């Protein structure tokens, strides 16, 4: 077996990992640590390995570990993995560091304004006003009035109570979040956060910030490749910049082989925009 064949056998299982991280319609950054775990497992020595195969595995593992040894990179990957409800209890390797980092950043998180309490107060006032206008003496109306008055008193009492700091809220959210069951790896984490953003609001904002980061540059490289095909001299099309930009955004199929053949058959005058 030649050196190239041995390298092929060692690296072949890793090709699917590259394809998995090249997507652009799902969260990929939080999948890096699980894939790293699997890659390291694939690079472990086996009894049937030849000396050359062992050497290639050791060199690949050393180079791989060196690429992911930078602290800020490891922190970003761990935070993204922690915020993924699929892997929060399995692949996070810097749990305490992640908690400290989020606590340091909690003051800059902008939470959406909550109108539920204001609406509840308005509904209580409206209910009380309606009850006083109707002046019903039946038991149900009296109980509704008492219940509304009690809710208003409780709301005022709660508003007078000093609120906890954002750090205290975030610590409570992290405890609550860790106790939730992990969802299936087949589910989409952003969809889960969309449904559960009300309960841990601070963590939901962090999830939006981190889970939207792509794990690779494949998406941007596709844009450059598509723009190169659109503006290629082979198409024999004299497009203005704004028209080429519109085609790039709204008509990605323009780069298909059929379109290229049709463009070649048509003259430049027929295609001018």
pLDDT attached to residue 131: 45
Token pair for residue 23? Answer: 């997507």
Q: How many helices and strands (H and E) does the chain possess?
A: 15, 0
Contact (Cβ atoms closer than 8 angstroms) between residue 92 and residue 98: yes
pTM of the model: 0.65
DSSP string, the chain: --HHHHHHHHHGGGHHHHHHTT-SSS--GGGHHHHHHHHHHHTS--TT--HHHHHHHHHHHHHHHHHT--HHHHHHHHHHHHT-TTTTTTS-S-HHHHHHHHHHHGGG--PPPP-HHHHHHHHHHHHHHHHHHHT--SHHHHHHHHHHHHHHHHHHHHHHSPPPPHHHHHHHHHHHHHHSPPPPTTS-HHHHHHHHSSSSHHHHHHHHHHHTS-SSSHHHHHHHHHHHHHT-GGG-----HHHHHHHHHH-GGGGSHHHHHHHHHS-HHHH--
At residue 234, φ and ψ (nearest 5 deg) are: -65, -25
pLDDT reported for residue 192: 93
- 135 sits in the region (left: phi over 0; alpha: psi -120 to 50; else beta) called left
Q: How do residues 193-203 score in pLDDT, each as one tens digit?
A: 999 888 889 99
| Percent of the chain whose predicted confidence (pLDDT) is above 90 | 18
pLDDT classification of 153: cutoffs 50, 70, 90: low
Cα 200 to the center of its chain, rounded Å: 16
Residue 176: per-residue pLDDT: 92
pLDDT of residue 118: 47
Instruction: Name the average pLDDT for the chain.
Output: 74
* pLDDT at position 58 over 80: yes
User: Which tens digit of pLDDT belongs to each residue from 203-244?
Assistant: 999 999 999 888 887 777 777 777 776 666 665 556 666 666
């Amino acid at each position: 077996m030649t050196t190239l064949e041995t390298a092929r056998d060692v690296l072949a299982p890793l090709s699917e990992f590259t394809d998995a991280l090249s997507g652009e319609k799902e969260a990929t950054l939080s999948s890096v640590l699980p894939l790293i775990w699997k890659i390291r497992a694939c690079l472990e020595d086996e009894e049937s390995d030849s000396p050359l195969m062992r050497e290639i595995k050791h060199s690949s593992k050393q180079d791989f570990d060196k690429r992911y040894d930078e602290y800020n990179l490891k922190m970003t990957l761990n935070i993204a993995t922690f915020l993924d409800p699929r892997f929060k209890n399995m692949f996070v390797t810097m749990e305490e560091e992640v908690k400290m980092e989020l606590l340091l950043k909690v003051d800059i998180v902008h939470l959406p304004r909550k109108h539920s309490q204001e609406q509840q107060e308005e509904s209580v006032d409206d209910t009380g006003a309606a009850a006083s206008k109707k002046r019903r003496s039946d038991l149900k109306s009296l109980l509704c009035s008492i219940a509304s008055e009690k809710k208003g008193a409780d709301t005022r009492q709660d508003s007078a109570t000093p609120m906890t700091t954002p750090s205290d809220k975030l610590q409570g959210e992290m405890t609550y979040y860790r106790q939730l069951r992990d969802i299936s790896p087949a589910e989409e984490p952003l969809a889960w956060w969309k449904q559960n953003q009300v309960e841990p609001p601070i963590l939901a904002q962090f999830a939006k910030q981190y889970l939207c980061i792509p794990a690779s540059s494949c998406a941007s490289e596709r844009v450059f490749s598509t723009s190169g095909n659109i503006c290629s001299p082979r198409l024999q099309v004299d497009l203005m910049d704004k028209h080429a930009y519109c085609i790039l955004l709204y008509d990605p199929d323009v780069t298909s082989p059929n379109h290229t053949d049709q463009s070649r058959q048509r003259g430049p005058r027929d295609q001018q925009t």
